[in-house]
Structure 1
Amino acid sequence: MATIGNVKKIVSRAISISMPSIAFFGRLVFAFVFILSAIQAYAEHYGDGGPLEKTVGPIVNVVTKLGSKVLTFFTGMQVVSFDVRLLEFTFISAKGTAGLWFIFGGSIPAYFLLVTQVISTLIPLPTNSHDFAQNLTLIGALLFYIGYKHAIDELLEAEKKKKKEE
């Protein structure tokens, strides 16, 4: 007859064996959200320039033209024109690459995803509250993951120190 202690041991062992694979598939699904987001942004990017081109592009063009005239007048140097589409493509590729990198674990890809998510939330200024809320949810999930990853790393480090002392 199985006692509660035996059941706890069986469940604990099953969880400890399956937990790495569950964590891997969880990271895979979470990274899939960012990869699909990068693909969608890439599809929007070349249609009419994307949201960053629409919101920030005219401002950058005016500042570049004005800065070029002022800098040329005072120093004789000329400002090189800046294409916002290149900046937008850089953010898209960073999000896709970090999403692929996130699958294998670690906190560095989570930081890259956090930075790209914050930039894509704040700069294009989302038009509806649903996009803004979804972006904030992803930022919160990334912050939770980073905190959880650091807590696990500290716990493993404390266990190593404890084993060395014994």
Structure 2
Amino acid sequence: MAFLSFLGRLLFVSVFILSAYQEFNEFGADGGPAVKALKPKFNIFSKHVATQTGIQVPRVEMKHLIMGAIVMKSLGSLLFVFGSTFGAIILLLHQAISAPILYDFYNYEAEKKEFNQLFVKFTQSLALLGALLFFIGMKNSIPNRSPKKKDCIFCITPIP
């Protein structure tokens, strides 16, 4: 059972590991193609947040965001594979932050082709988010096992 659990976690994080590896290889001095794809989406997201909430999103360098995403995916995946709740929380934060920015289906009309493509990817991202929440919930619901106290057959009192 432990091996199957480990294998399941390994297969789950393969999405994050492969994505981080690809972004790292393409990163370069300017941040690579991920910066070019993220910049307009982040600007639209920032304007959307500012108009809806009145809160200004701080200006950041896109290559710093990409490097942060690479670190979050790598570190979270490594910890998650070994059953760490902290690793799951890191991946959960990554998904919660990146999904609304990357898959901005809400900026398109429902009849457009882009809407359907982005909406499907967004729902897949929500499924990953749900799996991470499920893992954290299950991990927290399992009581910690304490070793059973055994009586010593040669002792008068039980061993604590």
Query: Fold conserved (TM > 0.5)?
Result: yes
Give TM class, smaller chain. 0.5 to 0.7
How many equivalent pairs are there?
A: 123
Structure 2 residue 71 is matched with structure 1 residue 93: yes
Q: Which residue in 1 is equivalent to 2:136?
A: 146
Post-superposition, which runs of at least 4 consecutive aligned residues in structure 1 deviate over 6 A?
none
Structure 2 residue 41 is matched with structure 1 residue 55: yes
Gaps of at least 5 residues in structure 1 are: 1-18, 61-80
Q: Secondary structure at the match of 1:49?
A: helix
Partner deviation per Cα, 1:94-132 (whole Å, 9 max, x = no partner) = 112211221111100000000001111022343421110
Higher relative contact order (CA 8 A, sep 6+): 1
TM-score in terms of structure 1 length: 0.62
> How far did residue 50 of structure 1 move?
4.3
Structure 1 CA distance for aligned equivalents of residues 23 and 98 of structure 2: 10
Q: Secondary structure at the match of 1:123?
A: helix
Structure 1 CA distance for aligned equivalents of residues 104 and 122 of structure 2: 6
> Which amino acid is the alignment partner of residue 70 of structure 2?
I
User: RMSD of the TM alignment (CA)?
Assistant: 2.9
- Output aligned runs, 1:3-152, within 5 Å: 19-42=1-24, 43=26, 46-47=32-33, 49-57=35-43, 82-127=60-105, 128-152=118-142
More helix by share: 1
Q: Secondary structure at the match of 2:104?
A: coil
> How far did residue 51 of structure 1 move?
3.5
